[in-house]
Amino acid sequence: MARKVIEASGAPKPVGPYSKAIQVGDYVFLSGQGGVDPVSGKFASDIKGQTKQTLENLQTVLNGANLTIADLFKVSVFLRNASDFQAMNEVYKTFFPKDPPVRTTIVTELLFPEMLIEIDGAAYAKKD
């Protein structure tokens, strides 16, 4: 099965040797995105701002595959601080008001120093 690198102008540039997203068959796999503004390169100052920006960045990458955030079926959320869980959820649920994707949330200190959250995911690309 052929794989296709998804080009997504407007999303933050990768900081390492990886693609923003790859499509394999009917599935698109997205690398982790953080709460960094793609224009300024600055992180939002709090978890709510970073969660919003992170999900907007994922949406931008999905746009490169002609998909929307509603096409995500699996996401992984990485939080720097467990105490941010409730505030992250407040913003997160506004992006998925109905039938949210399955999700795993992990607390880790292995994020960039300014990064409070990172989210990766998988989306279904086949349109009926």
Q: Mapping DSSP to helix (H, G, I), strand (E, B) and coil, where does residue 12 land?
A: coil
Q: What is the pLDDT of residue 128?
A: 60
Q: What is the pLDDT of residue 37?
A: 94
pTM: 0.94
Q: What domains sit in the chain, N to C, each tagged with a CATH number?
A: 3-8+19-124 (3.30.1330.40)
Residue ranges in the chain whose pLDDT is less than 50: none
Q: What is the pLDDT of residue 113?
A: 85
- The string of pLDDT tens digits covering residues 52-89 is 999 999 999 999 999 999 999 999 999 999 999 999 99
Q: What is the pLDDT of residue 17?
A: 86
- Residue 81 CA to residue 90 CA, distance in Å, equals 15
Q: What is the pLDDT of residue 18?
A: 87
Q: What is the pLDDT of residue 27?
A: 96
